[in-house]
A = this chain, B = another copy of it.
Amino acid sequence: MPAISKREQIISEALRLFYQHGFNATGVDKIITEAGVSKKTLYNHFRSKDELVLATLRKRDELFRNNLMRETERLASTPRERLLAVFDVVSAWFQEKGFSGCMFINAAAEFPDTADPCRILSAEHKRLVCDYIRDLAEQAGANNPNELAKQLNLLIEGAIVCTYVGADDSSADRAKEMAKIFLHNALG
> Which positions in A face B, CB cutoff 8 Å?
20-22, 24-25, 100-102, 104-112, 122-123, 126-127, 130, 147, 150-151, 153-162, 164-168, 170-171, 174-175, 178, 181-182, 185
Contact = CB atoms under 8 A, between A and B. Distances in A.
Contacts of A107: 109
B165 A104 contact: yes
Number of copies: 2
CB-CB nearest 10 A-B residue pairs: A158-B158, A109-B109, A154-B158, A106-B109, A157-B161, A126-B166, A24-B24, A157-B158, A108-B165, A123-B167
A167 B133 CA distance: 18
B162 A161 contact: no
A22 B143 CA distance: 42
